[in-house]
Structure 1
């Protein structure tokens, strides 16, 4: 079951990493790809966020069943492939459902409030220009609502769901499962138990270190969203969100090392694949060289035989 979960986690992380450069490019160049790209890229980001976190919770639950409930889990794990596929489909459907507001309400539109205020002195120095012309337009990809009630509801609901389902729920599942696993490993008489405990602790601590600062910042920003505050306070909050969100992005790149490369079997198979690829590459290069040498030898031999044919009638 864990292999199926890891495959889906890898798929979610790869989709996120592929879409992230496009999001960065559009943010830097006034969202040049339009509304549909805005909805698609932001929606994919949201789906991968939820699915990745929920799948990590599924991995921890699977390890809990395999280690803590080993005797009772034989019947469950005997049909592991069926259960894991059903659970993964349910996780992806849940992630898509939670991302529906992002697909619906995100749009690319001109936001003039993101520019610095043009004061009356600047306009007085150039009377022919208006304030609108001085400010200009800047396309952003963000929520756009028709009414204030919908805006207030969605601006609170979306980040609240992200914090609750995308962080606290997986954190609770991982905390319970991995704490039980640590207790079970400490009771076992196995010389490798301390290494396994260190791996479990690393998985939990990295998850908390990457995602806790961003979710705390997002929760605070949601709580004070409609309060009146100074501009420098708003700038500080947005800067904290940017830095902590970047730290949360890093977890996608750490997942392969935490969940795959630590395992001995995976490392051995991965090294075997690299060795096979290296051998195939060497064989391909050698075959190309040998075929080129053979063809050159064959051409030179034919030319020699041709000259001999012209020189003597006894040449076979």
Structure 2
């Protein structure tokens, strides 16, 4: 009697595919993420240029804003590199997987924690103005130390990414590749395992194996613990703690401004409320979806529910990424002085462009005159006196 693998597995129900819809993923990566990266790169580059050439870091807020811009620009540079590597099977190997994902994680944590530091500084400057004036004016070095601590915390919180992220071959089962133990995936260095664990060749409908970059653990116990620890730390320290700090500080700031006798107080209150509301609107949906996924990860769910959860996570994550484009507008360009510096950058860039065009034309005219003189005076030495100048 002949035995067929296909007939044996016809009655087996395939596992749920936890992958995001390819069309949705394509739209997010090609269009949405591209817009976010371009706008985020331009806005944060202008902030860095302003601090480098036009405005000195004279206060703690300036130091925090500069570091936020650095974190955001590193984030928008790492994101397209990650997408490119995903589409090409992480061809550069495990080191690129760890490095890119690690940089991505560090800047994600650091950027949000620095926003909390800005709210604390605004609280000290407005609510505790008398007590903190000398401290904030004479100890600018403290802001650099605080930023160093924030970056170090971002690195510590990203250690699981550096340690456990690996480039490995997806086993083709169509299930969620997140937090596999090493017994569940095929190692790209072991040919025997690759031959044994190839269900896509046996079962119809299974996806072909592909290289991925994600968490990989040696045992299931570690996988289960980290599967809860990583998203929990991301939600607690990457959203809820900064939200509590910002909520307390900015509520006190608004209360103080409303009791101040200043004709610009209402504008300042609107700015503060805009900062808080935009932060909540960008990050709350993703963290709520992540919280739901973390709570229900060990319970049985319908395939449709799991697919919906993955789709919601992908969409809300792109909304959270959008915040890096809005940071320059909310924290930097909303100030009059910063807008003046930005206008100066545009004017200087325009003048530089006109000088460059004029110099090219002048250089071309001089070159033509030089050639004609060479034709008229054969063998006579000549020197191009007009050089390219700015």
Interval containing the TM-score (normalised by the shorter chain): 0.7 to 0.9
Separation (CA, whole Å) in 1 of partners of 2:235 and 2:141: 30
Q: CA deviation at 1:233?
A: 1.2
Please state whether the residue corresponding to 2:131 is helix, strand or coil.
coil
Change (3 A) 1:131 1:88: closer
Q: CA deviation at 1:291?
A: 3.0
Alignment of 1:183-262 (within 5 A): 183-262=255-334
* Alignment of 1:23 onto 2:82: yes
Gaps of 5+ in 2: 1-59, 176-197, 379-390
Matched length: 293
Separation (CA, whole Å) in 2 of partners of 1:277 and 1:292: 22
Please state whether the residue corresponding to 1:22 is helix, strand or coil.
helix
| More divergent stretch after superposition (56-65 vs 268-277) | 268-277
Out of 105, 109, 114, the position equivalent to 1:50 is: 109
Kept in 2, the 8 Å contact 1:67–1:181? The answer is: yes
Please state whether the residue corresponding to 1:107 is helix, strand or coil.
strand
* Alignment of 1:73 onto 2:132: yes
Larger radius of gyration: 1
2:162 corresponds to: 103
Kept in 2, the 8 Å contact 1:114–1:138? The answer is: no
Root mean square deviation of aligned Cα: 1.7
Separation (CA, whole Å) in 2 of partners of 1:144 and 1:2: 40
Gaps of 5+ in 1: 117-129, 307-316
Q: CA deviation at 1:302?
A: 5.9
Q: CA deviation at 1:16?
A: 0.7
Out of 168, 171, 178, the position equivalent to 1:112 is: 171
Separation (CA, whole Å) in 1 of partners of 2:112 and 2:240: 10
Please state whether the residue corresponding to 2:281 is helix, strand or coil.
helix
Kept in 2, the 8 Å contact 1:218–1:241? The answer is: yes
Kept in 1, the 8 Å contact 2:90–2:212? The answer is: yes
Q: CA deviation at 1:234?
A: 0.9
Q: CA deviation at 1:27?
A: 2.7
Q: In the TM superposition, what whole-angstrom CA distance separates every residue of 1:150-194 from its partner, at most 9, and x where no partner exists?
A: 111111001000000000010001001111111111111111111
* Alignment of 1:59 onto 2:131: no
Q: CA deviation at 1:255?
A: 0.8
* Alignment of 1:5 onto 2:77: no
- Higher helix proportion: 1
Change (3 A) 1:175 1:145: same
Q: CA deviation at 1:138?
A: 1.7
Q: CA deviation at 1:299?
A: 4.2
* Alignment of 1:275 onto 2:275: no
Kept in 1, the 8 Å contact 2:172–2:200? The answer is: no
Q: Specify which structure has the bigger relative contact order, considering alpha-carbon pairs within 8 angstroms and separated by 6 or more residues.
A: 2
Change (3 A) 1:150 1:131: closer
